[in-house]
């Protein structure tokens, strides 16, 4: 191989490596499962019409707040109520609801009115509220656990929320939850899964790459036992991975 061909090859691979490296910032994780369906698929078109009419079924985030001693405590309920209201100020949260914000509709001779499910400012009525709530199948296992040791705060979030928006939402929510001394907090929903899944995938890619590089290095040491041979092999493998990731990004 002539010097010109070698130089040309180095320049080409150098340019490709630079372009691939610049494209790594564009590499994103996609949560759009519609891309796995072929365009024009009748089932996909039906699904899109359904979502347009009734909205998607994953535009929510649930916050479970546990208190083993029981949730019918004035201080605990006040914190839950305050959290429910303040969650509406978190970015990309459209609405929030919990047991403390629900009311029963009541028809009177003077028209419709409502009574709260929980009388927050009247602790003496908590036992009666507890009995009534635990007999209401619409509330049990939706807003309150069967043993009355946990409450759920429902957050309605933006439809088809994307990763950057989900991360902004979770950052705001985590900062808000840190202001309350809740014993146990559990999260469930699309924004939480998006952020956690991407972080997990990044960790897995990093750990897998490091372990693979270490294993290849050990194999090369036993096979070649020469520094430049090992270095050339590792550089070739690293360049191949860089080009592959850059191709995915672009």
pLDDT score of 230: 79
H or E stretch including 159? none
pLDDT score of 222: 84
Mean pLDDT, range 18-27, rounded to an integer: 72
pLDDT score of 71: 95
Of the candidates 91, 243, 68, 93, which has an alpha carbon nearest to the alpha carbon of residue 153? 93
Domain presence at residue 187: no
Domain boundary among 155, 182, 209: 182
Give the model confidence (pLDDT) of 152-162 as tens digits. 999 999 988 88
Distance CA 29, CA 181 (A): 34
Whether residue 58 sits in one domain with residue 177? yes
Whether residue 177 sits in one domain with residue 125? yes
Give the model confidence (pLDDT) of 39-52 as tens digits. 777 877 887 788 78
Whether residue 70 sits in one domain with residue 169? yes
Which DSSP state fits 140?
A: B
pLDDT score of 2: 67
Whether residue 169 sits in one domain with residue 206? no
Whether residue 7 sits in one domain with residue 94? no
241 vs 161, residue with greater confidence: 161
Distance CA 146, CA 7 (A): 73
Burial per residue of 193-230, b for 16 or more beta-carbon CB atoms within 10 angstroms, e otherwise = ebbeebeeeeeeeeeeeeeeeeeeeeebeeeeeeeeeb
Helices 227-249 and 190-223 pack at an angle, to 10 degrees, of 160
Which DSSP state fits 164?
A: H
Distance CA 200, CA 12 (A): 34
Domain presence at residue 7: yes
pLDDT band at 33 (very low <50, low <70, confident <90, very high): low
Give the model confidence (pLDDT) of 90-142 as tens digits. 999 999 999 999 998 877 777 787 889 999 999 999 999 999 999 999 999 99
Find the farthest-apart pair of alpha carbons in the chain and give their distance in angstroms, rounded. Answer: 100
Evaluate if residue 30 carries a pLDDT over 70. no
Flag the least confident range among 73-77, 85-89, 184-188, 191-195: 191-195
Which pTM was predicted? 0.79
- Dihedral, 35, 39, 41, 42 alpha carbons, nearest 10: 110
Tell me the average pLDDT of the chain.
Answer: 86
Distance CA 127, CA 34 (A): 49
Number of domains in the chain: 2
Domain with 232, as residue range(s), is 3-30+197-249
Domain boundary among 158, 182, 206: 182
Whether residue 11 sits in one domain with residue 108? no
Whether residue 178 sits in one domain with residue 55? yes
pLDDT score of 168: 96
Whether residue 72 sits in one domain with residue 24? no
Evaluate if residue 1 carries a pLDDT over 60. no
Which DSSP state fits 117?
A: S
pLDDT band at 167 (very low <50, low <70, confident <90, very high): very high
pLDDT score of 132: 94
pLDDT score of 65: 97
């Amino acid at each position: 191989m002539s010097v010109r061909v070698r130089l040309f090859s180095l320049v080409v691979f150098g340019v490709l490596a630079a372009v691939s490296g610049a494209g790594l910032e564009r590499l994103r994780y996609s949560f759009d499962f519609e891309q796995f369906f072929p365009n024009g698929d009748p089932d996909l078109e039906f699904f899109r019409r359904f979502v347009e009419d009734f909205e998607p079924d994953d535009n929510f985030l649930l916050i479970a707040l546990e208190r083993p001693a029981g949730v019918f405590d004035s201080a605990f309920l006040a914190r839950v109520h305050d959290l429910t209201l303040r969650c509406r100020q978190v970015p990309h949260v459209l609405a929030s609801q919990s047991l403390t914000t629900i009311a029963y509709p009541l028809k009177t001779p003077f028209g419709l009115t409502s009574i709260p499910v929980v009388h927050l400012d009247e602790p003496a009525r908590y036992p009666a509220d507890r009995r009534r709530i635990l007999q209401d199948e619409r509330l049990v296992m939706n807003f309150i656990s069967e043993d009355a040791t946990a409450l759920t705060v429902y957050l309605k979030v933006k439809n088809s929320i994307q990763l950057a928006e989900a991360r902004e939402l979770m950052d705001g929510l985590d900062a808000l939850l840190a202001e309350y001394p809740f014993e146990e907090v559990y999260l469930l929903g699309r924004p939480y899964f998006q952020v956690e899944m991407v972080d997990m995938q990044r960790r897995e890619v990093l750990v897998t790459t490091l372990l693979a590089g270490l294993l290849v290095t050990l194999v090369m040491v036993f096979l070649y036992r020469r520094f430049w041979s090992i270095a050339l092999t590792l550089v070739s493998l690293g360049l191949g991975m860089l080009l592959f990731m850059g191709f995915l990004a672009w």
